[in-house]
Amino acid sequence: MPKTLPLNIDRINTPIGELLLVADETGNLRAVDWADYEARMLILLQRHYGKGGFHLQPAHNPHGLREPLERYFAGDVAAIDDLPVQTAGTPFQRMVWSELRRIPTGASVSYGQLAEQIARPKAVRAVGLANGSNPVGIVVPCHRVIGANGSLTGYGGGLHRKRWLLDHEAKNAAL
């Protein structure tokens, strides 16, 4: 029988709701999502690691990962820039997620701009789907992707959170 991946889960109170932090035994973030979307997070984890391919165990501040996220929400928005992330996903998804981490804090890009940045200008829809499948929100900042006309478009945690995150980063990026 294949070995299941042990994952630690922590719950963090933030100004915009309870955040779930999932890390592996070596200290890599595997998922970050909102508690009110925990069912979706579990589905994403199953897609990445297979049904029964992982098990969650409660942990407090696994590998010190909680502290940078708390600092981020307190205004030190650069605190999460170098957090280690390990995701499954397709090579295309991982390419999009890697590019998301290159969007400067306090900035935003459109789906079309993101597609151009990965040298796939016609893959706007695929970029959007990869963005929506990102298991490590906030740290892999999918909230920084907006519509071509500058409008807020879908965010897995709700548009009110996307607006808050963008405003929070814009206000604190220069500090």
pLDDT in tens, 59-107: 999 999 999 999 999 999 999 999 999 988 899 999 999 999 999 999 9
For 8, the 3-state DSSP assignment is strand
Element containing residue 18 per DSSP (H, E): strand 17-24
Looking at 142, 145, 146, 166, which residue is catalytic? 142
pTM score, two decimals?
0.91
Give me the pLDDT at residue 175, please. 54
Residue 142 a catalytic site member: yes
* Nearest of 18, 30, 17 to residue 137 by alpha carbon: 30
> Domains in the chain and their CATH numbers?
5-80 (3.30.160), 91-172 (1.10.10.10)
Q: Tokens 């992982």 label which residue?
A: 54
Residue 96: how many CA atoms within 13 Å on its side-chain side? 32
